[in-house]
Every structure is written in structure tokens, then in C-alpha cells.
Amino acid sequence: MRTLPVLYQDEGLVVVNKPAGLLVHRSPIDRQETEIALQIVRDQLGQWVYPLHRLDKATSGALMFALDRESARALTRAFTEAQVSKGYLAVVRGFIGDAGRIDHPLKEGPDGPEKQCVTEYRRLATVELPQPVGPYATARYSLVSAAPLTGRMHQIRRHMKHVFHPIVGDTTYGDGKQNELFRRTFNCSRLLLHAFKLDFVHPVTGRQLSIQAPLDRSFEALLQALQWDTVALAPPVKV
């Protein structure tokens, strides 16, 4: 039976480290997928679990489930009211600014209304590779810590595209030439976006929790190849 690494667990909730390529719950788009995180964690713990938030299939990292209805209600309210701080790590094209706030509304679905959408970010490191990509003689990249202050679908991916710094490995909103360079040079074809941290107040005990999700081997290997492996994962940014 497949299991997922447990980062934190108590009577009311569990946080696991979801690998890239795994759906959180069933999707009409990915009908062929036979494994989903919800079912894996349910079978792993031997009890029903309640999903509280989403991670894209291609995104890895910290994923929280409630273990009873009361905790599910309290934690859902905490996510809805932005009382859970989420920190992501991403590799983006180009040299992004030191820090910034992207305040750009996004639609939920092609026909849905635009909704307020805010992401804050901080640049952790940069690298310039002596490889031509498109019209450029070299390839530049930034390692970014990002904190979504709202919870729209594909928010960080769409916001980074909006500011012309798409996430490497993003086949929907990214740059195909950059993605090909990473596949060819680093044997890396995954989306370079990882949910590395959840900060929140426990709804029952009142304790402040900060739960971190370690990077997988492929992401770690890439950071080593780019000489970013000594860069500490930063907390969710406030700029």
C-alpha cells in the first residue's frame, strides 16, 4: 500500500508531504488517474479525512486534512479567512525584483468573474547560465519564496506569468524553451513549485504551529546543480 510522509498529526488534523504528479482528489480532467492523495491518506490512517485546501497535481509539498467534522469546519474557516499562512518555493525565469506584491485579479474558470488575488514574494537567489535561450545569449533564473494571500486556482503560477517571470516546468503558463533547457541540461521535467510551509493557530489547542515540508530528491538535486543548496527556505514573505 502506498503511503505519504506525515509531517504532523494529532486527533484533529494531519499534514502530509504530497509528491509532484499526485492529484489531491478526483478530477474530471484526469479520469485516468487511479491514485489520489485523499484516498491514500484515508487508507494510510484507516479513517475518513476531510480535504481543506488544494495543491495542483504538479505541485509538491505540505497538504493538510482534517480528521473530524468539527476540526474540518474550524480549519476550513481558517483557510477561508486567510488565517493560514502558506509559503511556497519556486524557480522562475529571469531576475525578479528583490521583493514585491502582485495584486492582480484572476478569473476562476473561463466564464467566471474576476476576483481579488494577491501574492507576495521575495527573491532568495539568482543564477545566470551560459546557455542561449531564444534571442538571449544566456539564461537567467531566480529562486523565489512566495506567499499567496488569497486562494485562487493556479494563483502563483498565473501571477508569475503576469509579471513575466513564469515558473520553470510549468507546461500551462510557462516558457516552453526554458522548460526544454531544464529537461535537457538537468533532466528535470517537473513543475518547480513546492509548498514548503504552513503556519497557523491550532483550532483546538490554540498553539501556533509551523509545519515544513522537505523538498524531494529532484528539487534538491536541481538546487545543488544551480549552487542554491545552501539557501535556507524562507518563511512566508511580508513586504
pLDDT per position as a tens digit, 147-205: 999 989 999 999 999 999 999 999 999 999 999 999 999 999 999 999 999 999 998 88
Nearest to 212 by CA among 193, 198, 228: 198
pLDDT for 239: 37
Nearest to 18 by CA among 50, 66, 61: 61
pLDDT for 108: 80
Region 27-37: mean pLDDT is: 70
Q: Does domain 6-225 have CATH number 3.30.2350.10?
A: yes
Region 29-52: mean pLDDT is: 88
pTM value > 0.85: yes
pLDDT for 27: 60
pLDDT for 33: 63
Question: β-strands 13-18, 106-107: how paired?
Answer: unpaired
Q: Is the pLDDT of residue 106 over 60?
A: yes
What percentage of residues in the chain have a pLDDT greater than 70?
93
Q: Is the pLDDT of residue 98 over 80?
A: yes
CA 191/CA 170 separation, integer angstroms: 5
pLDDT for 29: 61
Count CA within 13 A, CB hemisphere, residue 102. Answer: 25
Q: Is the pLDDT of residue 234 over 70?
A: no
Bridge partners, 140 (sequence order): 128
**Average per-residue pLDDT in the chain?**
91
Q: Is the pLDDT of residue 236 over 50?
A: no
pLDDT band at 237 (very low <50, low <70, confident <90, very high): very low
pLDDT band at 55 (very low <50, low <70, confident <90, very high): very high
Nearest to 145 by CA among 170, 120, 118: 120
Task: List the catalytic residues.
Answer: 56
pLDDT for 138: 93
